[in-house]
Structure 1
Amino acid sequence: MGKLFILFAVLPIIEIAILINVGEQIGGWYTVAIVVLTAFFGARLVRQEGLSTLTQAQQKMQSGQMPGQEMAEGLLLVIAGVLLVTPGFVTDGVGFLLSLPMTRPLIAKGLMKHMSVNMVNTSYQADFTHQTSNQYDFQQKEEQESGEIIEGEFVDKDEKVKPGLRKPD
């Protein structure tokens, strides 16, 4: 919840404050021009890097390797593209950081490491839940076999009764 609050409430306020300050320093039209130019050049950079990453992924798949690094970099490029076309200097900075060929592979490796740790933890939790469920099922079977009476309804399959009709008593 806190991360989403920062993303959707605090970040726009910071962006607006920076845009106003830059506009006061260099002028409003120059600020708008910078925002438009960063969006344009950022989109071109993301497109170029995306095609390069796609080519690398295809080469890895053709050689029988899993393109995990390239998939993570592709995800970062999608995020970078969104950030770069969003007006603001902070989002542009983060977007360029995610799209540059020097920084993106490092961030992608960190992302993959973080995801693998989370996947291991989730896998462990799933195994634990499955084991607990099996233990519960085993306990229920033991209780049934111990001679306890379990209430329920049954249908006598030998008698031919039409659905919806009850057999007279």
Structure 2
Amino acid sequence: MENTAPFEITDEMLASRGQRFVNYTIDIIIQYILYFILIIIVFIVNALLGSTSMPDQWFSGFQGTFFFLVFMTFYYTLFESYFSRSIAKYITKTMVVMEDGSKPDSSIILRRSLCRIIPFEAFSFLGYDARGWHDSLSCTYVVKKEAFERSRALFDSFEEIGKEQIFEH
């Protein structure tokens, strides 16, 4: 008889509140640095082209906030779609997975990234299970990479044992 129990994310695999806070802090610092570099590049290119039509307020006030939110969404979507991790998650050895342990597809990651724009969302991971709204609304989890991979390998090995026994009989 084949084991049909699905793989599940357990509490032991979940990233801690501390890891989540460090992820947020490192990622926001990196985003501001990259965004500042982008602004400098835009101004240099604009100056090289001899254009004076780009007002400074594009990067301040409402427009500046809007552009930064677009940049932030792009940052998370790019990194988490391709690597299941942002730069900070590499440092803290955590990663994003689906409830069944699979890698989220790009549309799920985009939803996850857009949810980060919700006001006060950054504080939502401070709840009981350290899951933020961007996690729960996208049905994703941030897990400790090593604990997750160890559990996943153990689960997969049990699945293989079950398959071998079925084929032998």
Whether TM exceeds 0.5 here: the answer is no
Higher strand share: 2
- TM-score normalised to structure 1 length: 0.28
- Taking CA–CA contacts closer than 8 Å with sequence separation of 6 or more, which of the two structures ends up with the larger relative contact order? 2
Higher helix share: 1
Please give the TM-score of this superposition, normalised by the length of structure 2.
0.28
